[in-house]
Structure 1
Amino acid sequence: METQDPAVAEAVKASGEFTLEKATAKAKETFDQLLNVSLNIAVTGKAGSGKSSFVNALRGIREDDDGAAPTGVTETTMEVTMYEHPTMPNVKIWDLPGIGTPNFKANKYLKDVKFKNYDFFIILNSERFTQNDIMLAKEIRKQKKNYYFVRSKIDNDIRAEERKKGFDEQKVLSIIREDCQKNLKDMGEPKVYLISSFDLEKYDLEILQNTLEEDLPDHKRSALLQAWPVCSTASLEKKIQFFKGMIWAASLASAGIAVVPVPGLSVACDAGIVVLFLSRCYYSFGLDERSLSRLSEKVNKPHLKHMAKSKFIAAIKDKALTRVSVSASLAAIATVEYLFSLLPGVGSAIAAGMSFITTQYLLREALQDLAENARNIRKEAGLNIA
């Protein structure tokens, strides 16, 4: 290897390459993919099944927020509508009109909604799945794309049943699942995921996430993992481990040391990469004001809105990117300089240029800080359940 520095050697090894130059090139490619890979999720189903509520839940926004998908007791989706994820614009969730509605006849549905635009389909129903759902699934399968049956509004079913004598929630869930599968017998034995758009911690949202990760290619999986809402302690830890595994790429891409002929020479850091990496962690862990406000209302603990506090969080919020944009972040040198100044003993490194090792140290310290904040907030919210 071109350098004997253990930290750099570790990053080269993590890249799977054998030379520093190739490792740095791969790091830049990997980091660019982390930020920009597209993911298009189609949500479809019959009128009134809760598609728009589900779209809003995946985006982490309330129904009365600006830009929310409109919801109501009647069919509110009259045309194909795209909604960007609020902090990851490369992830798009498409709210499709219900199959069989007047403007979208079942026999032409896939063509009319531009089937090829989507990475996978979520077929939603709040009651029994119908022949239209089955027909749609068969057509999707013919086109060699994946579909997932999701039974929505489970919270409504539970509330209706819990008044009855001898109520057993697990038994109710089993009955609902079996009934759905019975109606889908023409599809073999498909999995049915039970969800509530208003209580993501419960039921099968995490199981659905795990299934999607298994089915998606690696580069698409990273987009899903960043954008998917935190629905359990396990899902938070998965996000944390994912970003830990990306530090080598962010550090090498940021430092750009492949072109430096002298081992250990300190070089200028690409500030934008550091800002983007930490901003992605901040939003993905649910530390932003919107996520904390939603959580505090859900568990009726107003003080949760103010629990995300640390020197790193303050720095990120001071220059927080409401829309993650590479071009905007590259100008955010002041943010990174401030972040580095918070670390004891390394502030002077900026004057000489930010080395790979300094960048790596910063990212590790900041990630650990953000992770601990997210864990503590979940614990205080009473959600610290694996």
Structure 2
Amino acid sequence: MDKLIDPEVKQQIRQLLDVDPAAAAEMIKTCVENNTDIPLNIGITGEAGSGKSSFVNAFRGIDDRHESAAPTGCVETTTDIKPYSHPNYPNVILWDLPGIGTTKYPAEKYLKLTGFEKFDFFIIISDTRFRENDVKLAKEIQKMGKKFYFVRSKIDNDLRAEERGQRDFDPERTLSQIRENCIQGLQKEGFESPQVFLVSNFDLHLYDFSLLHETLDRELPDHKKHALLLAMPNINQEVINNKKEAFQARIKYYATASAAGAAVPVPGLSVAVDVGMIVAVVKQYTAGFGLDVSSLQKLAASTGVQFEDLKSVIRSPLAGAEITGDLILKVLGQVTFITASTAAEEGFKFIPVLGTIVAMSLSSVTTYRVLSYFLDMLAEDSQRVFKRALGL
């Protein structure tokens, strides 16, 4: 995560820390915010009725019935290109593209008409085998030098149908047969080692969605990976842990910036912290972990678990609450893990920020420890909510 700040900019910050700490702090904040706002545009395409819109909704963590959901149905509901921003990360946009091969969007003109240049990668969805138009599109995307991924949707429907029709039903065997059938079909069309991800839009934690995420994380440019990770729904505990690691890596930058911030004394403790910054960062944590009220409500709607049941496993007073300066100070006033002496003694241990920093204030040390404390607390809450939502 040290790649977060360009080496030349980092050198400027080191120099400013001695002569103009406030300017250094502002530069750090700008770098972190710009990195967080990196755009990620994902094209979701396939033939009509393949489940594109449901996939868009599932990725965004909302139910198909939600007011901001992409319209779904048993007939083609996407007739024009429609962008859907992630509710917590508007820099991440999923583009619900019309079915390829329709009169308005013929296969041979599809990429040009949809404006392929703006997309970072494409997800080609089919609810059966991948057909001629899917193959044509994949080959055109390949020519343009873009990445694409085959997703076989509605796997839950296939498994239910197989279970009803077989005496010795084996779900793993059925999944293997579906995957192999798709791969063989694509190989016949000239794709040497095609990867097909089996997905249920209603149960992203099952089947291959986590593998799709791992593949995207491996193949995306470094500056796009963070945007993808934060927008990714909490499909398993590993994603939650990865989000925690990404947030943890940024704390040192916020702590350095807080050295020149507006420090406010914490009631009952002989320390001061940059409360405004902590409020902003904790809001990022609750959104990323899906612990803000809106995210919890959407999770309740999509899983069928009552909102109050989800809240019942939360221990932190920050999760599911409006994050304000007063709330932050109230929570800090109730803990005794920070004292001025221990913070001063361990300052450089906790803040190895930009190399040699001459005058590190107590505020920055305290900010580091406070943010780490809140991050641990909220990550644990996120794990508990995940387990309750899935009935684990």
| TM-score, reference length from structure 2 | 0.80
Task: Note if contact 2:43-2:96 (Cα within 8 Å) is conserved in structure 1.
Answer: yes
Taking the aligned partners of 2:147 and 2:3, their CA distance within structure 1 comes to 35
Q: 1:50 to 1:270 in 2, by over 3 A?
A: same
User: Could you say what secondary structure the match of 1:189 adopts?
Assistant: coil
Deviation at 1:173, TM superposition (A): 0.6
CA offsets, 1:67-118, max 9 Å, x none?
Answer: 1100001110000000110011111110000111111011111110011111
Give the equivalent residue in structure 1 for 2:73: 72
Tell me which moved more, 375-384 or 202-211: 375-384
- Map of 2:120 onto structure 1: 119
The reply on whether 1:21 has 2:26 as its aligned counterpart is no
Provide the C-alpha distance between the structure 1 equivalents of 2:219 and 2:4, rounded to a whole number of angstroms. Answer: 24
In structure 2, what is the equivalent of residue 7 of structure 1? none
Residue in 1 aligned with 2:172? Answer: 170
- Stretches of structure 2 that go unaligned for 5 or more consecutive residues are 18-23, 262-270, 341-360
CA distance in 2, matches of 1:311, 1:299: 22
Structure 2 CA distance, aligned partners of 1:301 and 1:270? 34
Partner residue in 1 for 2:51: 50
Contact 1:226–1:280 (CA under 8 A) maintained in structure 2: no
Q: Is the 8 A contact 1:233 1:383 kept in 2?
A: no
The AA in structure 2 aligned to 1:249 is: Y
Matched residue, 1:306 = 311
Structure-2 change in CA distance of 1:107 and 1:254 (3 Å): farther
The one-letter amino acid of 1:180's match is C
Deviations 1:358-377 (A, max 9, x none): 11111011001101111223
Counterparts of 2:366 and 2:92, CA distance in 1: 31
Distance 2:60 2:193 in 1: 30
Counterpart AA for 1:176? I
* Corresponding residue to 2:364 among 346, 356, 366: 356
Instruction: State the alpha-carbon separation in 1 of the partners of residues 292 and 131 from structure 2.
Output: 40
Correspondence for 1:182: 184
Closer, same or farther in 2 for the Cα pair 1:29/1:358, shift >3 Å?
A: same
TM-score (norm 1): 0.81
Q: Please, which moves more after superposition, 334-343 or 246-255?
A: 334-343
Contact 2:198 2:207 in 1 (8 A): yes
In the alignment, which residue of structure 1 is the partner of 2:60? Answer: 59
1:246 matched to 2:250? The reply is: yes
Per-residue CA deviation, residues 258-291 of structure 1 (Å, 9 max, x unaligned), is xxxxxxxx987371x4333222221222223344
1:85 counterpart residue number: 86
Cα 1:383–1:308 shift into 2, 3 Å: closer
In 1, the alpha carbon distance for the partners of 2:225 and 2:135 equals 27
Note if contact 2:273-2:367 (Cα within 8 Å) is conserved in structure 1: no
Contact 2:4–2:31 (Cα < 8 Å) also in 1: no
Deviation at 1:129, TM superposition (A): 0.4
Q: Secondary structure at the match of 1:32?
A: helix
**Alpha-carbon spacing, 1:12–1:127, altered in 2? closer, same or farther (3 Å):** closer
Deviation at 1:30, TM superposition (A): 4.4
Cα contact 2:51–2:127 (8 A) shared by 1: yes
Conserved? CA contact 2:52–2:125, under 8 Å: yes
Cα distance change, pair 165–30 in 1 and its aligned pair in 2 (3 A):
farther
**Contact 1:134-1:187 within 8 A present in 2 as well:** no
State whether structure 2 residue 241 is matched by structure 1 residue 233.
no
Provide the secondary structure at the position in 1 that maps to 2:123: strand
The equivalent of 2:354 in structure 1 is: none
CA distance, structure 2, for counterparts of residue 20 and residue 339 of structure 1: 32
Q: Is 1:84–1:90's contact at 8 Å kept on the other side of the alignment?
A: yes
User: Matches of 1:244 and 1:365 in 2, distance apart?
Assistant: 10
Rate the CA distance shift 1:20–1:342 in 2: closer, same or farther, 3 A: farther
Q: How does 1:140-151 map to 2 (within 5 A)?
A: 140-151=141-152
Change (3 A) 1:318 1:270: closer
Provide the residue aligned with 2:274 in structure 1.
Answer: 269
In structure 2, relative to structure 1, the CA distance for the partners of 1:347 and 1:29 (3 Å cut) is same
Q: Deviations over 1:225-256 (max 9, x none)?
A: 00011111122211122211221122223434
In structure 2, what is the Cα distance between the partners aligned to 1:201 and 1:311? 25
- Between stretches 234-243 and 210-219, larger displacement belongs to 234-243
Report the more deviating stretch, 171-180 or 280-289. 280-289
* Count of residues paired in the alignment: 349
One of 279, 282, 286 as aligned partner of 1:282? 286
Matched residue, 1:292: 296
Provide the rounded CA distance (Å) in 1 between the counterparts of 2:192 and 2:2. 46
Q: 1: CA distance between counterparts of 2:309 and 2:368?
A: 30
Show structure 1 runs of 5+ residues with no match. 1-10, 258-265, 320-331
Contact 1:255 1:267 in 2 (8 A): no
| Structure 2 counterpart SS, 1:187 | coil
Q: CA RMSD in A?
A: 3.1
Superposition deviation, residue 299 in structure 1: 6.0
Question: 1: CA distance between counterparts of 2:134 and 2:377?
Answer: 45
Instruction: State which of 317, 324, 331 in structure 1 corresponds to 2:321.
Output: 317
